[in-house]
């Protein structure tokens, strides 16, 4: 672990989403359809496990907070067993990633008010993570140049599904000011943007915890009050405030971080292979590029064969049972 580079860096991993867009693929692989972050699709472990492992060499488990929904708490505990020091925050209501961020920030604040944090989703695939992690560490050391630094990747416009970031003026090292950003480009726009130097937003951001709390609390004051009460040891008051929070619309994390914030920057990441996997075809395309598609198809084929054998055995046993329990019919022959 590079303590000299990341001794005050914490990780907030958002794993509470209910993205089932890969349902057909995960059912073909394992017969189940969990949210994407818990699925075993490619590489070692689930996407959640890969996310934790990605940062484990730079950030000890004791400085990681993972937010999950109560519906998948058991799966999270099972998959995070390898990292016993991780702080698992379970939330019951689907109030959006903004509240998830507040819950995790409150826990980080209780430990280290001056912490720097990387906030990242748990459901992205990064087959070559070294460049991305190196950039996150570099960004954490460059927060004197910007209030928040977004991680953008190059070279993956393919279908133009992702939000984009346009670097502006250099701020020192590999950091650039954030000149422009946008939601989702068409395929034609994506090619033009990439040719002009745009990067694709990984939804990963590095900032001081204090600044992120300020942004979140400004847009979600009631939720921030509830979380503050919770971590201050006043759960009854937190519950009373949270009752009102549940009636409020969820806040999108991108809107929370990008709209109205100042002194934003971006750090480019190249050749990491990052992808969001928004559909089964995305998985096929990205694995085909790496030559890993055969492994995926072999797993599907093996399950189909196993299922076929199991189904055949079940039918044979059912027929045998039926034959054994059916009454014998004795016919008569007319003279």
Sign of the C-alpha dihedral computed for residues 68, 73, 75 and 81 taken in this order: positive
Rounded CA-CA distance 56/59 in Å is 5
pLDDT of residue 322: 46
Pairing of strands 116-121, 9-14: parallel
Average pLDDT over residues 23-29: 84
Q: Which pLDDT tens digit goes with each residue over 69-120?
A: 888 999 999 999 999 999 998 887 666 677 788 889 988 987 888 899 999 9
Residue 260 pLDDT more than 80? no
**Per-residue pLDDT averaged across 140-167, rounded?**
84
Question: Mean pLDDT over residues 33-45, rounded?
Answer: 90
| pLDDT of 243 above 70 | no
Q: Is the pLDDT of residue 258 over 80?
A: no
| Token pair recorded at residue 95 | 């109030």
Better-predicted residue by pLDDT, 94 or 44: 44
- pLDDT band of residue 5 (cuts 50, 70, 90) is very low
Q: How does the average pLDDT of the chain come out, rounded? A: 81
Instruction: Specify the pTM.
Output: 0.84
| Residue 182 β-bridge partners | 164
DSSP track, 281-335: HHHHHHHHHHT-HHHHHHHHHHHHHHHHHHHHHHHHHHHHHHHHHSPP-------
| CA distance readout (Å), 6 to 65, 204, 217, 284, 290 | 16, 17, 26, 35, 31
Q: Is 109 helix (H, G, I), strand (E, B) or coil?
A: helix
Which residues, 6+ apart, have CB-to-CB distance to 332 below 8 Å? none
Burial class (CB in 10 A: 0-12, 13-18, 19+), 129: buried
CB 182 within 8 A of CB 259: no
> Cα angle at 16 between 11 and 22, to 5 degrees?
115
3-297 belongs to which homologous superfamily?
Spore Coat Polysaccharide Biosynthesis Protein SpsA; Chain A (3.90.550.10)
Averaged pLDDT for residues 280-284: 86
Confidence tier at 269 by pLDDT (50, 70, 90): very high
User: Please, which pLDDT band fits residue 122 given cuts at 50, 70 and 90?
Assistant: very high
CA nearest 239: which of 219, 218, 225, 220?
225
Cα torsion 136, 214, 220, 76 to 10°: value is 30
Checking if the pLDDT of 169 tops 50, the result is yes
DSSP label of 275: B
Q: What is the pLDDT of residue 3?
A: 45
> What is the reported pLDDT for 56?
95
Most confident stretch, 270-274, 291-295, 298-302, 325-329: 270-274
Mean pLDDT calculated for residue range 280-298: 83
- 242 and 106 Cβ atoms separated by less than 8 Å: no
């Amino acid at each position: 672990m590079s303590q000299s580079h990341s001794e005050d860096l914490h990780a907030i991993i958002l794993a509470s989403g209910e993205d089932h867009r890969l349902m057909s693929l995960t059912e073909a692989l394992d017969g189940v359809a969990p949210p994407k972050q818990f699925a075993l699709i490619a590489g070692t472990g689930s996407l959640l496990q890969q996310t934790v492992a990605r940062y484990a060499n730079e950030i000890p488990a004791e400085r990681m907070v993972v937010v999950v929904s109560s519906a998948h708490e058991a799966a999270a505990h099972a998959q995070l067993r390898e990292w016993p020091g991780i702080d698992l925050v379970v939330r019951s209501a689907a109030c959006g990633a903004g509240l998830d961020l507040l819950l995790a920030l409150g826990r980080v604040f209780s430990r280290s008010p001056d912490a720097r944090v990387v906030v990242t989703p748990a459901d992205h695939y990064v087959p070559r993570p070294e460049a991305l992690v190196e950039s996150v560490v570099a960004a954490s050391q460059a927060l004197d140049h910007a209030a928040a630094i977004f991680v953008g990747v190059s070279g993956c416009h393919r279908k133009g599904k992702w939000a984009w970031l346009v670097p502006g003026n250099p701020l020192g090292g590999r950091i650039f000011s954030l000149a422009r950003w946008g939601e989702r480009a068409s395929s034609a726009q994506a090619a033009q943007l990439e040719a002009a130097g745009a990067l694709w937003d990984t939804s990963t951001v590095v900032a001081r915890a204090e600044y992120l709390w300020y942004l979140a609390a400004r847009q979600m004051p009631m939720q921030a009050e509830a979380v503050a009460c919770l971590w201050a040891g006043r759960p009854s008051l937190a519950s009373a405030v949270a009752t009102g929070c549940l009636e409020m619309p969820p806040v999108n994390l991108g809107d929370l971080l990008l709209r109205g914030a100042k002194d934003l920057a971006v750090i480019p990441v190249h050749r990491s292979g990052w992808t969001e996997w928004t559909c089964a075809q995305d998985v096929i395309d990205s694995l085909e590029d790496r030559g890993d598609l055969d492994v995926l198809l072999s797993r599907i084929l093996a399950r189909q064969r196993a299922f076929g054998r199991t189904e055949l055995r079940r039918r044979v046993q059912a027929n045998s049972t039926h034959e054994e329990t059916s009454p014998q019919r004795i016919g008569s022959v007319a003279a």
